[in-house]
Structures are given as structure tokens and as C-alpha cells.
Structure 1
């Protein structure tokens, strides 16, 4: 009888397939790589319409390249950096090192997976551009596009591995990766093309590789003759690739370095779970003490999730500091850029803390079995949920206060003290509304990953449709504003603008907008109450 020899699968394809599946099962990564650039293209395309350049080409011809570059950078820099740190801190890299897998195969698989994600983003945007906006693929420049994207992926991936190799923990890697990429996109001709930047920001953008990737990619979409290669920009990308490889080679390690592996570890050490292990003490706590304890636990969990803190607190502050510098004396709705941004970014913070972060934490506790065990303790379920909602409100108030301090202290923003009650009421009602919407979605969606995909996938497009993030100086089409008027985010913004306008009259309460926000809160609370079993 002949022995059958079973050949093991080749390591690079097998590990690449595993990494690609992990990417597709990670809603935040897939959203920021694929859906976010596409949403940006759709919204900006709706704003510019059929506008043309001085050369007669449609403006939309030049939108695909910068948004595709963001998808490429998100896939090959952020995703590679975070995944490498997660695999290292969870011990997976160390186990792979002990397995008969070549060391280079592990890194090659991550690079191939990032190339797949980056290529998917480019194809998706190009497909949408051709179908919806008459974007022309310049076929004679296609080889240049492929070479540029390949070098861009290699450069960003090398820098991502270098970042993960230089940082000890997953949470720090997540925060640094997003904290570097998103602000850099605003000064690198990605989110804002051909902006008249202050000299220091222009120097920073020109020194770092993202701007060179954006300019080289934009050249391959420019109609006209030539091969489309940009030797100068490609040389800068190659130099940064070599630098990233050298740093990664020197600093790369297989053993865990930090004390935790990010949000997953924070969930396993949830202080709520620890407190619930001693239910005999609950009957001695007053309702106020119960609520205070749950608020403290929820805030502790949020502090451990560095990425949530970044997007809720740090990111709005960066935009407030960056936009007035980039746009100068531009005015929106009769207000200075800084005056408008204090209101719009406060609305964003209210929504992201209550609608994204709060239900995500609740869904994580549900997946870990915390909420089921909660039913066997004297702690009321309502106190647990109220603690999460109050923590979201406090975070929004803290971020709004920081925005106000920065705006008033450095950017000439004015907020009348007599209108502070209107500001506080608006933030309170807005946080209640979006917390209720988050609860309703958590009750309707049983899987935490599906919940994050839905909350992010609805909030960020609504931020653009509702003028939270203002794109350009042209008003949105009437059909878009009609859709935005149905949802509460635009009304929350208008209420905050009414409460913070320095030239307004009265007490600042925009009752018609607050009524819409309150109506959404009541409907969402009714849904969450009806589907309460789904929360557990």
C-alpha cells in the first residue's frame, strides 16, 4: 500500500488568506479603508456636481486619487501597524516563530493582505468614479498607477511595521497610527487638495511620504499624454521605504512587550465584572452610590480604550487647531471657522461618545456574558445602562469644554455666559438622544461587530451631510439637506450654533431643533425598551 503524503499548505498564501479574512471581519478596519473614502467621494461629488477645471476637465476626475490614497494608507500603514502589535502582544508572533514558518513569510503575508485591502479600496473608488461621475481611466498611465500604488503600499507597510516595532502596547500603536495618519491627510493633498497651507505645515507635509504618494497618484489620473510617472515623488517614497525597513529590522521583536493587548484585555478585566463578584454588598448601596459606581467603571473602561479617547477628545481638538490654520479667514454661516467648529465638533463629540462608544462597550459586555450575570445580582440593569450613558455625557462635556477653552483662549471664539444653560441643555439632550439610538441598535443587532459597522457607517456620512465636517464653500444639494433634516444630528448642530452665536439674541434655546432631538430620543427609548431582551 502506497503511503499518501499530505503536503502542508504554503505559508505565505495560507497566512495571507487568514489576514484577509481577519480584515473583512473587522468592521472598523473595513469601514475606514473601504466605506469612508467612498462616502467622502460621494459627498464631495454631490457638492461639486458638474464643475470643471480651467482645462475643461471635470473636478470629479481628480477626486478618486486622493481618497484612494487615504484607503491605501489606512490599509497598509494603520492596519499593518495595529495588526502587528496585536499579534505580538497576544503571543501569536511568538508561536509562529516556534512553528516551521519562515520569519519572512509572516511579514510577507501581512504585506500581501494590506496590498489586497489597498487594491480593493482603489478598485472600489475607481469603479464608483467611472459609473457615477464619468471619471476617465487614463489607460496609458495605468502602469504608472500600478507602480505608484505598489511603492506606496510598500512604503506605508514598512513604516507601519516600524511604528509597531518601536511602540510597546497595542493601544499606543492604535492611537499613534490614527493620530499620525488623519492629521497628516489634511496637510498632504488628501482631504484638502491644493490648500494654501502655512509654511510650517507645508514643510511638514512635503517632508513626509503621504503627500508624495497623493501627488504621484493624482498624476496618473490627470488626462493627457505622458507615461504618468513622477520620479521625484517615487524617489521620496523609496527613501521612506528604506528608512522604515531599517527601523523595523532593528526594532522588530517577536515577544510581547506591553502589559496588555488593547481593548480585548480591558474587557476581560472589566471592573463591572469584578464588582459583580461581590453581590452581597449591593443592598447597602444607595441609588446615587450605585449610579456613581457604574459611571466610574464606565469611565475607567473608556480610558483604557485609547482609540475611543482619541476620536472623542483628541481628534476634535486637532481639527479645531488645524482647520482655521488651513482655511484662514473663511466664514461658514456668517461665523468664523473657529466659532463654527466649536459648535460642530461638540455635536460630533456628543454623537461619537453616545452613539458609537457607549453601545460598543455595552455590546462588548454582552458578548463577554457580563449582562447575563448582572441579572443574578442586586444591581438594577437600569443603573448599569444609566452609568454608561452618563459616562458618555461626561466625556462629551469634557471634550466640549476643552474645545471651548482652546477656541476662546487661542482662536478668538466668543460664547456668551448667559447662553451656557442653552449649551448645557443641548448637549444633555443630544447625548440622551444618541445614547437612546445606540441602545436601540444594540437591542436590534446581536453581534458587536455588526453594531460597530452600523454606527460608524451611519454616523460619519451623516457628519458630512449635516455640515458637521464642512467640505468646501458650496452648499449641499437640496435633496441632501432634506435627507439630513430628517435625522437628529443636523438639528443638534443648529441648536448648538444658536446657543453659541456671538451675534445672536435671546437665551440661545433653539426649541424647534431641540424638539426634533427629543422626539428621536423618545422613539429610540421606546424601541430599546420594547427590545430590552436583545440587550442581554
Structure 2
């Protein structure tokens, strides 16, 4: 009996990719994911460049040394380049890692053959590429449009600072995300560290004399060391290579500390990935146990839901309340103190308390409340609400009223803290101040709903609102006051409602309580325009295709496919 020979299996010619190849592919994968997240690109790349262009347009064209062609933008570029690195590494990595862990993506990734170091290295590599792009854009636009001078002798120092700074802040970002719980908390803490530190680390302000304790605090953290390294490399009067060992060692020490904390926290968390809900709570059932609820009950119920939603979202609380309070303390302290008086006799503490109260109200009304609405539409919450007795007017009116309530609370918090820190008293026309704040908040909330009605996703909604609010804030007498803007920027700021809102709040909180009627009329006009757009555009369901087809109108059966 003969047995047929079994042919030997042909060996495959493929082979397992090496570590370097895996890392390169993972970096490419993370960069591809970045391109699909417009809000990340806006925050990491767009904002540093935008802030540089705005500041350079306002003050950067001033020539400091005609003989050498040195302009003020030469000293703005290092700080904004540092800000780009930090936003692209620290903030991006911390928030992205926290979201991946909360959604379970890290746990699923751990079950694949992909080594853990490659997964982490891919995120760090993508963040470094993003930081390089942000820095290159700031320096490139500065050199091309604002006379920023670059020097070949310091290019190696710039590259070393960029790499070491990126690694340092990437390690710190991973450590922060590994220690904190939810993505919302991570967003609040990450930005709550970066933005205030930027004001005391020569990023947003140059040539100012900080209080001694602020100066020491800035030197303790790594951001100021990186800003100083960039500044030395771009110093038009310097002659060295730009390398400063003490500042480089400070970055390395912070990076090693961050890496150690991240390693410990990730090992501790290896088997217990904490999955937290990334969405906000659904509104409570509005159907009363007995009978149909009244219109007032519906409105109050939606108002209560809105305020509860905002209170439970750590990032909303930070950006709408805590952040304006911090800026109301930091900006006056960095510009001579809150008790310093301006030409009109008003103290800096009182002035910035008013502008920061308006800014906090704008964040709540124009960004937070409309974003929650578009998230609910994207997740199908609004579609389910459509089957309840809640009418659209009660839903929208409750959201707008919630924005007004939170804005008023922010106003009180800012003035209480400014009163404790700088002796700022209660505005004499406090009732007028609250009325102006309520009108402006309602106007911006309606406009935010109108703007986000054009967004298909929550991320697009955040991009639209933040992408318009923050640039306008810089030219609408919020962060920068007493600067003569170029005519184009001045016309843009005068057209949109943020500047009239800020000026109305500033006037109402002054000793005289005078409010320019033209500012109030501008807010009313924008409010009416926003209501018209909302009336035409509001939808309970996402606009566009469902499974590739347009949604059938409510009450009409969709035709069967032939």
C-alpha cells in the first residue's frame, strides 16, 4: 500500500515588521486619524498661528531697530512657537489618550499583537510632527509676513529645543491623562495648566514686569524654559549658538519625571481600564405622571437640565467660570496690578472683571450650550425627545435660559474674586449690568444654535464656534485693550456682536453705568437674525443622509426601495 506524499507547505515570503517599521506605520495611522479630527487641528495648529497673526498684526509691525530691521514680531514668535509645541504635544496627547481609554480603544488595542511601546510611541511621534508643523507655520509666516529673522547659526538649537520640548511635554501629557479619570476632567486640567502658565511664561506677553511670586512660578515650570530657548535662538542681537544647558536640563528633568509618572500610572492601570461615559446625561423624561405638563413646567425642566448638564461637565465649568476668573486675576497682576488706574480713572481689576465676565458668558452661550445641542442631535437624543411633549420652542428657550443663568453666576464669581483680590466693588448700576449680560448671553446663545445648525457632527460644531469666538475675542476688547487695530480687523470686530456685548458690559459696570444704546441695538439685531436662522434651520435629527439616503419627512412613510 502506497501513501501519497503530502506536499510541503510553501514558506511565506512575508515577515513580521520590525520595531521601526511598526512605529512608522503607527505614527502614520495617528496622523491619518488627526486629519479626520478638525477640532484637534484647530486647537493644535490653527490657534498658535492665529494668535501670532493677530498679535503681530496689532503690534508686531512696529519697528524697534530700523538699522537692523528688527520688529516687535521678532519677540512674539518664540512664545507662540512654544505655545504650538505645548498644544500639539501636552494638550493633544493628554486629551486624546484620555478619550481613547474612556472609549475602550486602549483595551481593545491591548488585545492585538501591537506592542504597547509602539502604540504609545505612535501617539508621541504624531504629536511631535504636529508640533513641528505648528512651529514651522509660526516661524514661516513670521519670516514671510512680519519680518521675523531666522539665523543659520541657531538652527541646530531650534531643532534640539523642538525635539526635547516635544518629548518633555508629551511625557507630561501622558502622565496627566494616566492620572486623571474622564476626558472632560483631562480637558479642563490640561488647558487649565497651559493657558494660565502661558501668561507668566513669556508666551502671550513680552516686556512686562511680573510680580516676584509669578516670576518664580513661571521659572519652576518647563514652558518658560522652552520659550527662553526659542527666544535666545531668535535673538537678533545674540552671537552664540542658542544652546543653553541649564534650560535644556530643566526640560529633560521634567520629561523624565513625566515619563516616570506615566509609566507607573499605566502599569497600575493595565488591567483596569476605566471606561467613563463620554456623552452627557440624557434629559429626564418630561412626561408628567398625570396629564400633559404645562408650558412653564416644560421650560423650567429644560432650564434645569441645561444648568445640570453644564455643572456636571468639568470642561464647561473650567472654560466658562474658572478660566475667566483666573484671567481676571492674572492679566491685571501682570500689567501693573489690579489697583492700577487707567486714563478714565477705572482700575485694571474692575475693567478686566467686566471683560472676563463677558468672555465667560460668551463661552457658555456660544460654545457650550450649542455644542451640547448638536451632540444630542448627533447621538439621536433629540430624535427621541421629538416623541415627547417637549416642543422645539421649549427646548431652545430652556437652553438659552440656562446659558443666561450660568453667565450671571460667572459674572458674580468674577466680581467676588476681583473684589477680594483687588478691592473691586459692586457695580453701582448692578441691575443694568445683569440686564445687559442677560441680553448679550441670549443673543450669543441663539447665534451659537444658528451656527451649529450647519454642523453635521459635534466636532464640527465645536470647530465652528471656537474657531470664530477666540479670534474675535482678541479683537473685541477682551484680552487686548487700548490697541489701535488695522482697519480691516477693526471693521470685522465692529460688525460682529462680541465687541458691542463687551463694551456694553464694560459701560454698565463702570461708576456711571452708562451703556451705549447703539451696542444694545446691535445685540438686538443679531438676536433677531439668529432667531430667523434657527427657525429655518433647526432640526431634531441630523441633516443629510441616513444610511446613504435622505431622511423622510416626519409623518410621511418613506417609499419602499424598488
Partner of 1:496: 505
- CA deviations on 1:297-321 (whole Å, 9 max, x unpaired) are 2222222321121110000000111
Q: Which runs of 5+ in 2 are unaligned?
A: 1-8, 543-562
Note if contact 1:444-1:534 (Cα within 8 Å) is conserved in structure 2: no
TM-score by length of 1: 0.92
Residue 319 (structure 2) pairs with residue 305 (structure 1):
no
- Provide the rounded CA distance (Å) in 2 between the counterparts of 1:93 and 1:443: 33
Which residue in 2 is equivalent to 1:480? Answer: 489
CA deviations over 1:449-505 (Å, ceiling 9, x no partner): 22211111111111111111116x543234422221111111111111111112x2x
Question: Hey, what does 2:212 align to over in structure 1?
Answer: 199
Is 1:295 aligned to 2:303, yes or no? yes
Q: Does the 8 Å CA contact 2:374/2:453 hold for their aligned counterparts? A: no
Q: Root-mean-square deviation (CA), in Å?
A: 2.2
Residue 269 (structure 2) pairs with residue 260 (structure 1) = no
Alignment of 1:40-189 (within 5 A): 40-53=51-64, 56=68, 57-189=70-202
Answer yes or no: is 1:400 the counterpart of 2:411. yes
**Mapped contact 1:72–1:118 kept (Cα < 8 A):** yes
Q: CA deviation at 1:434?
A: 0.6
Structure 1: which 5+ runs fail to align?
A: none
Q: Secondary structure of the residue that 2:257 maps to in structure 1?
A: helix
Question: TM-score with structure 2 length normalisation?
Answer: 0.88
User: What secondary structure is seen at the aligned counterpart in 1 of 2:210?
Assistant: coil
Aligned to 2:449: 439
The match for 1:510 is 516
CA distance in 2, matches of 1:255, 1:288: 49
Whole-Å separation in 1 of the counterparts to 2:386 and 2:291 = 14
After superposition, the Cα gap between the structure-2 partners of 1:63 and 1:256, relative to the gap in structure 1 and judged at 3 Å, is: farther
Between the aligned partners of 1:143 and 1:439, the Cα distance in structure 2 is 48
Supply the distance in 1 between the matched residues of 2:311 and 2:254 (Cα, whole angstroms).
34
Give distance in 1, aligned partners of 2:541 and 2:411: 29
Find the counterpart in structure 1 of residue 244 from structure 2.
230
Alpha-carbon distance, 1:399 to partner: 0.5
Residue 215 of structure 1 aligns with which residue? 228
| Worse-superposed segment, 524-533 or 13-22 | 13-22
Q: Between Structure 1 and Structure 2, how many residues are aligned?
A: 523
**Larger Rg, first or second structure (1 or 2):** 2
Identify which of 429, 448, 457 aligns with 2:458. Answer: 448
Deviations 1:362-404 (A, max 9, x none): 1000001122222222211211111211111111111011011
Quote the offset at 1:280 in angstroms. 6.8
Residue in 2 that maps onto 1:250: 264
* In structure 1, C-alpha distance between the alignment counterparts of 2:372 and 2:136, rounded to whole Å: 34
Q: For residue 520 of structure 1, what is the aligned residue in structure 2?
A: 526
Q: Please tell me whether the aligned partners of residues 91 and 255 of structure 1 are also in contact (alpha carbons under 8 angstroms).
A: no
Could you say what secondary structure the match of 1:188 adopts? Answer: coil
The DSSP-based 3-state class of the residue aligned with 1:265 is coil
1:284 counterpart residue number: 292
Correspondence for 2:5: none
Deviations 1:328-347 (Å, cap 9, x if unpaired)?
15555632211111211121
